[in-house]
Structure 1
Amino acid sequence: MVSGSAARLIGDVCRRRWKQATGKLVEVTPQGGVSWPHTLPPEMENVTAAIALTEPGWIGKRGRFEAFRLTRDAINAARKYIYIETQYLASFGVARVIAKRLKEADGPEIAVLVTKSSHGLIEKLAMGRNRDRLIRRLKRIDRYDRLRVMYPVVPDGKGGEQEVGIHSKLIIVDDRFIRIGSSNLNNRSEGLDTECDLAIEAESAAHRRAITSFRHRLIAEHLDATSEAVRDMETAKRSLLNAIDVLNTRKRGLRHFAIGARGETSPIIGTAFVDPRRPYRPLQKLRLRMSRLLRAIF
């Protein structure tokens, strides 16, 4: 939850997109009409926030690609570690940025939590297989052992384990930057789908502590541990990845993708059609003609 000018800006985006989709206007809630719930103490106050949008560029309309650029810049700016949760990991554009950081002798540690199982033929082809090829490419580059790509599991009640789907879209860098919203790390989220992300950069020690606490709670949830245990282990090991490795001993935890170094590392054939970065131009022309026809009729 956010309040103030950030909330008003998000409201403006929602109303504009709703009008584009339905042609209907949504009335603006009077300022001060909705107050912050007194039962929910805010974790950060007086912070500077930004909205990063993704909107496809159609013929005659310029697109917006702020979310991908923000992700790229955040990864490039990392000094110590990058923590990512994403439903899909299939963007080779993002992979190139991560690969660049992995090649650095003193680059950041990178932990990525992603959904393992894909559903449906298209998702399995575009997201599942490309994810595996992307992980394989990054593993080959990770000569300094600073990358972990994992998926969460819980006990299934029958002596085995059950995968947990990741639906969050989150990036935390050095506990001084956080981006949370709707953008996945796949091609569609870079320029075809309509996305909205909120980014916050810490401006004080209190802000950094709040982001650190949030990250520790997330990791603790996946490892069936306490946030204090994650905090203490990270301090003792001076490493995000080593702390996860040490605490990852329970049935509820994180599992590594069993992907060997041998095999293909390039996107599958047809990726441009099933997971495109931009709208397909023939469809753009059809959409433009249909919109002109409808305007002429109505």
Structure 2
Amino acid sequence: MTTSILAEGESCWRIAEADRFSVIVDAGGFFRLARAAMLKAQHSIMLIGWDFDTRIRLTPDQPPGDRPDKLGRFLEDLAKQNEALQIRILKWDYGLLSSLTRGETPFHMLRWMISRQIHLKLDRAHPPMAAHHMKLLVIDDAVAFCGGIDMTVGRWDSRDHREDDPNRLSPFGRPEPPWHDATTCASGPAARALGDLARDRWEMATGERLEPVERSSASVDPWPEDLEPEFLNVRIGIARTSPKYQERREVVEIETATLAMIASARQSLYIESQYFASRRLAEAMAKRLSEPDGPDIIIVNPKSASGWLEEKTMDTARARMIKLMQEADRHDRFRILYPVNEAGTAIYVHAKIMIVDDRILKLGSANLNNRSMGYDTESDVVLEVSEEDVDLRAAIRARRDDLMGEHLGTSAQAVADAIAAAGGSLAQTIDALSRRDGRSLKPVGEREMGLDDELVAESDLVDPERPAGVRYKTSQFLRNRFGRRLFLAQQS
């Protein structure tokens, strides 16, 4: 019998049923489906995020319709059409200065500061230099999106990630690079629970307490009509990271859930993440790699971090984590790769996904870096299914194979067939399906480390683990539930 990784108050905040639950890959799909859901909103829209840009188009690949498509004008049109609708937007305060330089964005921000229906607030309830990093969209407490996609510049892309896609442009008409991302959509009690999480964060940031949405049998279902539910009537764990701040206690549910997932993997651990910089997580994975019968571990990362400072700090930390993993990989089960499009251009990976075997799927805003484990505010959802539920396990497998197929330029069925031919090995499957040219996954190369790199690698400059004065505490929950499988990495 497999030990569950989910426990309220330990590896998640709350467990709630989703009567419908789907994964949405890449922002082209998310923006379109979010727009469709928001058009049905009757009472409340809550947007909680790291950044928003009012200038972006939600459906640049579709002909203009009778409703505005730019985010700012779209939200104002929703409010104009429904006087009962309340729209609340919470964004990280540190991005305010950059927002003020963005074309029409200041115009909307000033209007929303005094609006009776659209309320924009800045989240500054965090330690110095920490980030409010959750990405939530909740509509009438009936449908909620939780994932890694911000409604801002540079996120829109299709799953084709075409070279020079004419729809993938900045508000000034400049081409944007290909971008891979993901989110989820849930309805039922899980959506209401995510609404509670959004209200909780709103109150922390503003001091204003909001009441849940009162729905009736006559309420409209805001689920997007063309989103096919992947999972029906499943229990979802909602996990958070929230740093200790003033009187607020530390919450590290995502870190606990991630370590539990690493410990519970038997055949494979498939990961997509913007970063790979947490030594605690890398040590836990390295321990599993050293086991004779441990899992394959596949990490899909960007080719390099974005921007000079992040490249200097996060890529150097990643180089150390890779070395640690390779030294433990005695059985050739580890791969760290980046995707390229048909033209060979690197696709930037911003998705935050973990899939354990065919039993657990975690997706949200948290990366495999220190900040996401204890310094920023994050929200993830975790789907865990039982060994006996063959249909749900098949659906998780299909989602994993679909993601691998997107990166490898082939179908989910071709991936499934290759996995079967490889005896279940994801590493051997990727080796077999990777191509020299065209859409594929490429190995992340070794980084030469100079003296300046050694000085900044794993520093607290960009990626602090905890606020000043707060130390990591060994999780008794993990000790009790997973024993020695993790605990070279869990010594405090």
Tell me the TM-score normalized by structure 1: 0.87
Counterpart for residue 234 of structure 2: 47
Partner secondary structure for residue 127 of structure 1: helix
Q: Which runs of 5+ in 2 are unaligned?
A: 1-184, 471-492
Equivalent-residue separation in structure 1 for 2:434 and 2:189 (angstroms): 40
SS in 2 for 1:175: coil
Distance 1:190 1:104 in 2: 25
Letter in 2 for 1:278: R
Report the equivalent of 1:60.
247
Gaps of 5+ in 1: 283-298
Q: Which amino acid aligns with 2:419?
A: E
Identity level (%): 40
Within the candidate set 223, 227, 252, 2:408 is matched to: 223
Q: Per-residue deviation at 1:258?
A: 1.9
Which of 124, 132, 137 pairs up with 2:311?
Answer: 124
1:227-278 residue CA offsets vs partner (Å, 9 max, x unmatched): 1100111111112111111111141110102227999998845612321111
The structure with higher relative contact order (CA 8 Å, sep 6+) is: 1
Whether 1:18 and 2:202 are equivalent positions in the alignment is yes
Is the aligned partner of 1:167 residue 2:354? no
Question: In the alignment, residue 366 of structure 2 is paired with which amino acid?
Answer: S
Bigger CA drift: 165-174 or 258-267?
Answer: 258-267
- Render the CA deviation track for 1:206-246: whole Å, top value 9, x for unaligned: 11111111111100000110111001111111121111111
- Structure-2-length-normalised TM-score: 0.54
Q: For the Cα contact (< 8 Å) 1:83–1:173, is it kept in 2?
A: yes
Contact 1:139 1:261 in 2 (8 A): no
- Please list the CA deviations of residues 168-194 of structure 1 after superposition, one character each: whole Å capped at 9, or x if unmatched: 000000110000000000000011100
Residue identity opposite 1:13 in structure 2: L
- Local SS of the residue matching 1:178: strand
Cα pair 1:76 1:101 within 8 Å, conserved: yes
Structure with the bigger percentage of helix: 1
For 1:102, the equivalent position in structure 2 comes to: 289
TM-fit CA distance, 1:67? 0.2
CA–CA distance in structure 1, aligned partners of residues 268 and 293 of structure 2: 11
Q: Match of 1:162, as an amino acid? A: T
Query: Cα distance 1:34–1:194, how it changes in 2: closer, same or farther (>3 A)?
Result: farther
Q: Distance in 1 between matches of 2:299 and 2:250?
A: 28
- Give the ranges of 4+ consecutive aligned residues of structure 1 lying more than 6 Å apart after TM superposition: 260-267
- 1:7 aligns with 191
Show the counterpart of 1:197: 380
Give the whole-Å Cα distance in 1 for the aligned partners of 2:308 and 2:411. Answer: 38
Deviations 1:75-107 (A, max 9, x none): 100000000000011000100100110110110
Query: How many angstroms apart in 1 are the aligned matches of 2:468 and 2:309?
Result: 17
Give, in whole Å, the separation in 2 of the partners of 1:168 and 1:86: 6
Residue 178 of structure 1 aligns with an amino acid whose one-letter code is L
Report how many residues are paired. 278
1:253–1:270 Cα change, 3 Å:
closer
